Structure 1
Amino acid sequence: MKKQNNKRTGELRLIAGQWRGRKLPILSAEGLRPTTDRVRETLFNWLQFDIHGARVVDLFAGSGGLGFEAASRGAAHVNLIELDKTAAKQLRDNVSRLSANNVEVVQHSALDWLNATTAPQPAIDIVFVDPPFSKSLVSPALEALKKNGWLHAESLIYVESERNLPIDVLTGFNILKEKHHGQVSFRLLTPST
């Protein structure tokens, strides 16, 4: 008897750009909570004048929804950083499925990667910080981005978190935009000078 795969497969629909309407398979995994279409649409409306040609990092990539959407809309290069082996394999499969030469998957802890990897020059234009909820990863990710030279003065940082995230976690950053949807808060930040 063939062993059944216990991982349910879902789909991620890309909203706009060169891969508009394409559906990518995503595996369900504990803690994986893809950003909804509605929230992604709001985020990319915020980024519409900044995404083309941008250097992007999607920390805690999970399904890769934010990174693939950025690549579809014209980002020059996207790094998808994902610790989970199964999720990283699915991300690589989706990179191949799209022939996305501007997308690179790195299977690594996002925090370790930020602290151990030499920050690129020029710095990153857009960073997506959407970690698993209730793991207290937002603050250390923002701190590592800032202290290790990943950001320039006009970098944009998207943070998606549980609604009750304490605002002091965002110290050192200015909030440009902020919205709430259900139990989720999402914000667009820039480093404070």
Structure 2
Amino acid sequence: MQTKPAKRPQHRSPPPQQVRIIGGMWKRTPLPVLDALGLRPTPDRVRETVFNWIKHLVDADWDQLDCLDLFAGSGALGFEAASRGAASVTMVDSHPAVIRQLEQNKSKLKADNIRLLRADAISSARDLALRGQRYDLIFLDPPYQQEFLSQALPLCKGLLKEGGLVYAESGLPLPFGVLQRPEWLDGWDCIRSDKAGMVHYQLLQLHKNSAS
């Protein structure tokens, strides 16, 4: 009796990574995300919670908001804000391949309210502040454990309009409860926070008279 040769396992290419817009005019629209750079889109559940927070705080008046997505990556946060009708969304990323993908997604959506900048996030924040750019909402979702939040958050003081909000995502909770909070958190209040798996996310606002 002859034995049939064992079938070789078929190695199928994994489906392309994508992010799904969860609200607004482009609700349920999937957008491709680059795998090569290890991008980590903010999970659907987190985005839904955060945008509900923001909706209640701004009375759903999205068409009055100028937004800055400082570590754009997949663009999940910036595209979500644009989908809900934000007046403008500026996305910043330093990787050429990421910017090309964001350009393609912007074209797919015909998103005229989105502006893309290929630049280092920290340098760009300083430059935008010097040029007098101000925003109602800033998204900070940098790579975890690389000290980017501690560098970027102080710069947001010079980028926010009065009463503006900062969304900060991190791998660890921000140390607001410690006896001696780090200097880079000076002037900030945490007005909402939650955790989903390993993702800690916070909505921050400046104390009155703390802007510099």
Q: Does TM, normalized by the shorter one, top 0.5? A: yes
Counterpart-to-counterpart distance in 1, 2:185 and 2:197: 21
1:21 pairs with 2:17: no
Write out aligned runs for 1:153-192 (5 A). Answer: 153-167=162-176, 168=181, 169-192=184-207
Residues of 2 paired with 1:16 and 1:120: CA distance?
A: 31
Question: Cα offset for 1:164?
Answer: 4.6
- State whether structure 2 residue 105 is matched by structure 1 residue 94: yes
More moved, 160-169 vs 50-59: 160-169
Q: What is the rounded CA distance, in whole Å, between the counterparts of 1:18 and 1:178 in structure 2?
A: 27
Sort the Cα spacing of 1:187 and 1:94 in 2 relative to 1 into closer, same or farther, 3 A. Answer: same
Under a length normalisation based on structure 1, what TM-score does the superposition of the two structures give? Answer: 0.89
Q: Is 49-58 or 100-109 further displaced after alignment?
A: 49-58
- One-letter code aligned to 2:39: L
Q: Which position in structure 2 is the counterpart of 1:52?
A: 62
> Residue type of the partner of 2:30?
K
Counterparts in 2 of 1:65 and 1:175: CA distance versus 1, 3 Å: same
Verify: 1:71 aligned to 2:82, yes or no: yes
What is the deviation of 1:7?
10
How does 1:32-47 map onto structure 2 within 5 Å?
Answer: 32-47=39-54
Q: Percent identity among equivalent residues?
A: 39
Counterpart check, 1:130 vs 2:145: no
How far the C-alpha of 1:12 sits from its partner, in A, is: 0.9
Query: What stretches of structure 1 of length at least 5 have no aligned partner?
Result: 1-5
Unpaired segments ≥5 residues, structure 2: 1-12
Alignment equivalent of 1:12, drawn from 1, 9, 19 = 19
Q: Deviations over 1:95-129 (max 9, x none)?
A: 001000000111111100011233445x2000000
Across the two proteins, how many residue pairs are aligned to each other? 185
Q: Which stretch shifts more, 125-134 or 109-118? A: 109-118
Partners of 2:126 and 2:51 lie apart in 1 by: 28
The code of the aligned residue for 1:161 comes to S
- 2:161 aligned residue (140, 152, 161): 152
d(CA) in 1 for partners of 2:150, 2:131: 18
